[in-house]
Structure 1
Amino acid sequence: MGSVAVDTEDEAQVSSSLENTEIERSKVGIMRALVEREDPSAKELDDLMIRRFLRARELDIEKGSSLLLKYLNWRREFVPNGSISPSEIPNDLAQNKLFMQGVDKMGRPIVTVFGGRHRPSQGSLEEFKRFMVFSLDKICSRMPPGQEKFLCIGDFEGWGYTSSDIRGYLAALSILQDFYPERLGKLFIVHVPYLFMSAWKAVYPFIDKKTKKKIIFVEDKNLTSTLLADIDESQLAETYGGKLPIVPIQDC
């Protein structure tokens, strides 16, 4: 009798999951029609992209459509040529602060950001925004089939006042949340100096609740073991006890 009960419960869960999938698929179709009516260029978007914007707004079709239309308008204005060229972001690339190499155990590309190398005084806010778009486009283009998210290690070793950039952080957060929703899978924040927490407190209120759940602060003593729980040693950067050399984002 117990076995039958478990099987019935499993069947109910599968049925519920399939029903939810059908509801989501239906909502994607409705959202596509609404967005295409307002902006015909949306016809070029695949269903996965529409689904990410829908999920970012808790499956609310109206809110998801509004966010997607906002994205399409922003993309035309901010990236008129379709992509950001390295020649448009020379100062940020020269800081050698963002790397990409390997995948985690779920197949998500691994991105490593060295926040202590960021020098806002050596560039401009607009260039940093372009750098963010350049990097996120590069990350998304390197996702394996069936994968939509990436894992990020934010390393703040050496971070100080010369790296502090509240306006830049807020701009980066806005770009990630509004224009690349449902792309971040997990963010490990490591080697955190005490000074950084003042900047974190300024940014934290602007992080949406879904993103907050993906952020994990890691103590130095638990660093390697924590990362190895999500990343095989063969895919983890050498600097964190793994075997993989990391590659600057512009060379990926």
Structure 2
Amino acid sequence: MLKSRRSTLPFSYLVPYNSRPSLPRAVSTPLFRTFRPPHTDRSRPFTTTAYSSTGHWSTAAFAAIFSSGAFVFYKNHKAAEGPAVPSKHIGSDLQEEEIALMSGTPLPGRPGNLTPDQEAKLQDFWVALLHTFGVPDLADGDHTAVTNSSTDHVKESTDTIASDKQNKKKSGGLFGSKKGKDAKHGGLNGASVVEGEDKFELPPEQLRQAFWSMVKHDNPDALLLRFLRARKWNIQNALVMLIATMKWRMAEVKVDSDIIRRGEAGALEDSQSADAKTKRDGHDFLEQMRIGKSFLHGMDKEGRPICFVRVKLHRAGEQTESSLERYTVYTIESARLLLHDNVDTAAIVFDMTDFSLANMDYAPVKFMIKCFEANYPESLGVVLVHKSPWIFQSIWKIIKGWLDPVVAAKVHFTKNIEELSQFVALEHLLKEMGGKEDWDYKYVPPREGENEKMKDEGTRERLLEERRGVVIEYETTTQQWLSGHKKVEGRRRDLTEKLGAGYWDLDPFLRARTFYDRTGIISPGGGIDFYPSRKKAEPVANGGPIPAGHVDEGVD
């Protein structure tokens, strides 16, 4: 019988599932100080330095943040250096990514394009993660025991869960249903922090629940690989980063249980509240949506979705800090729905036309550095800063010093439409920027009844139960894969597709409709149509291939 991969790992590598690790403690405890990934060169001293990474949803993060005028800084730099054209990226990794995008093959370091060492790192990451979640070895007994244990824990603690303004509604989590009066609104990640516990401390079953909630329609392997790449394939650092992200999503920002679940309709409700602060936050959030400070539209020449940011529409102090942060996370999560395996990064175009110092705002930059650098890794494909004024030269030099060289290499400055069109086809650039696309952003507000399915608790719970079963089978199959059973790889791929399709079945019961749902960019079942106003024979499906450099045949 093949030996389990878990048994080959140093004991100090495995994070005890009942230790409830926190980010600061994880870096300082003897457990992590003695950890050495299985594939490190033992001839070299081992360190636990946390690497800087800005990527993943920094893409959209930058969008909302730059919309705040924050990343206006970028734009300044190359205005002084002269016109920018698509430069040769620094480093072989970026060159390989460009080649892969053009050929349509999986990008390096992604599922389907891993070196033997990278696949071994991915497997070791899964070992550590499943152990952290408290998932028992196949030899330890029934895999479902952890689910029953998790459910019992959640049910026992529902009476002490901190209540919020939605505490009268009921929603089941992926691994447990909370039916107490004070149960939080959570959908897939309905588990909440128990009152009296440190908000940075979550039990293993809640970390597990937060992870599968975060996966959504994504490939679980692809999600883990983002964190591995962001931490230079250091398993320990990637694990610490991932755990911190799950806690941030569930306990601090409440991404799925609040921001995504309530959405624009929730902001509209808040804007009519009797509470002054709630009313202001709701109004300010919607105002940014109404004016189109930033929006997702179309794709660049590599097939990446684009977030356009009109920096001139931001004025420091016009919106509350909390509404800016909420808007940023909302934009990021909306953009994330447009990604898939073949195109897993996005592009940002910062339109600096008519920019002035009044548009500058440092607070969003601080928020981005604090939250998005760690929580949305490896999603930034390219940042295009268009028509930046010369006054930002010195600021750019400072900001550039904060960035990882790989990230800084993705920032390009364009002075005119000819230079910008080297990254985005003229047919996909708006006329207001000098392009050929006759399209204007016009906000479509929430419609009455558009979130009616979210009230259907029976269907939601049935679909959640189905997803629980798929998750358990995926974890079991993953354990078999870790033990060396190559024959299960096909079944594991099938389960990955089933998880993705199952998410879109659940989506209308968990996520409030967005502007992008109302305008046809996101259609029921996860279909993605970047140009819904044009007639197409068949929309591009989320999860299906989008050819690199694809251009719609219906362009005038």
Q: Same fold (TM over 0.5)?
A: yes
CA distance in 1 between partners of 2:430 and 2:121 (Å): 37
Look up the match of 1:180: 376
Compared CA separation, residues 114 and 125, structure 1 to 2 (3 A): same
Which of these two proteins has the greater Rg computed from alpha carbons? 2
Q: In the alignment, what sits opposite 2:339?
A: 143
Structure 2: give runs of 5+ residues left out of the alignment: 1-112, 135-203, 268-281, 444-513, 517-556
* CA shift for structure 1 position 144: 4.5
Q: Which amino acid aligns with 2:344?
A: E
Greater fraction helix: 1
Given candidates 14, 21, 40, the residue that maps to 2:208 is 40
Question: Mean alpha-carbon deviation: is it higher for 87-96 or for 137-146?
Answer: 87-96
In structure 2, relative to structure 1, the CA distance for the partners of 1:98 and 1:237 (3 Å cut) is same
Amino acid at match of 1:251: F
* Contact 1:150–1:183 under 8 Å retained in 2: yes
Comparing 127-136 with 83-92, which one deviates more in the overlay? Answer: 83-92
8 Å Cα contact 2:385/2:411 also seen in 1: yes
Q: 2:123 aligned with 1:26, yes or no?
A: yes
Structure 2 letter corresponding to 1:81: D
What is the aligned residue count? 234
Q: Write the deviation string for residues 140-180 of structure 1: whole angstroms up to 9, x where unpaired.
A: 11225532100111122222222111121231344332211
**Secondary structure at 1:242's aligned position in 2?**
coil
- Give the C-alpha shift of residue 207 in structure 1: 2.4
Task: Name the amino acid aligned to 2:225.
Answer: R
1:78 corresponds to which of 236, 253, 257 = 253
**How far 1:51 moved relative to its partner?**
1.3
1:207 aligns with 2:403: yes
- Does structure 2 conserve the Cα–Cα contact (< 8 Å) formed by 1:100 and 1:110? yes
Query: Does the 8 Å contact 1:113/1:153 carry over to 2?
Result: yes
Q: Give 1:245's match in structure 2, choosing from 418, 424, 439.
A: 439
What is the CA-CA distance between 1:193 and the residue it aligns to? 1.4
- Assess, with a 3 A threshold, how the Cα gap between structure 1 residues 90 and 202 changes in structure 2: closer, same or farther: farther
Q: 1:236 and 2:429 equivalent?
A: yes
1:161 is the counterpart of 2:357: yes
Asked whether the equivalents of residues 125 and 239 of structure 2 are also in contact (C-alpha less than 8 Å), the reply is no
Closer, same or farther in 2 for the Cα pair 1:195/1:91, shift >3 Å?
A: farther
Q: Could you tell me whether the CA contact under 8 Å between 2:309 and 2:350 is conserved in 1?
A: yes
1:29 is paired with a residue whose SS is helix
CA contact (8 A) 2:347 2:383 kept: yes
CA 155–62 in structure 1, closer or farther in 2 if over 3 Å, else same: same
Rounded to whole Å, the distance in 2 between the matches of 1:162 and 1:35 is 47
Q: Quick one: which amino acid aligns to residue 217 of structure 1? A: F
Residue aligned with 1:195, SS: helix
Counterpart among 121, 140, 146 of residue 317 in structure 2: 121
CA distance in 2 between partners of 1:95 and 1:199 (Å): 27
Pick one of 36, 61, 68 that aligns with 2:235: 61
- 1: CA distance, partners of 2:387 / 2:357: 16
Alignment of 1:214-229 (within 5 A): 214-218=410-414, 220=415, 223-229=416-422
Question: 2: distance between equivalents of 1:98 and 1:235?
Answer: 16
Q: Which amino acid aligns with 1:242?
A: K
CA RMSD across the alignment: 2.6
**Counterpart-to-counterpart distance in 2, 1:31 and 1:148:** 25
Q: Which residue does 1:5 correspond to in 2?
A: none
Alpha-carbon separation, structure 1, partners of 2:132 and 2:227? 11
Shift of 1:43: 4.9
Residues 24, 232 of structure 1: CA spacing in aligned structure 2 closer, same or farther, 3 A cutoff?
Answer: farther
Q: CA deviation at 1:137?
A: 0.6
| CA spacing shift, 1:243–1:43, aligned 2, 3 Å | closer
Unaligned runs of 5+ in 1: 1-15
2 CA distance for matches of 1:102 and 1:171?
Answer: 27
Deviation at 1:50, TM superposition (A): 1.5
TM value normalised by structure 1 = 0.80
Q: Matches of 1:246 and 1:63 in 2, distance apart?
A: 44
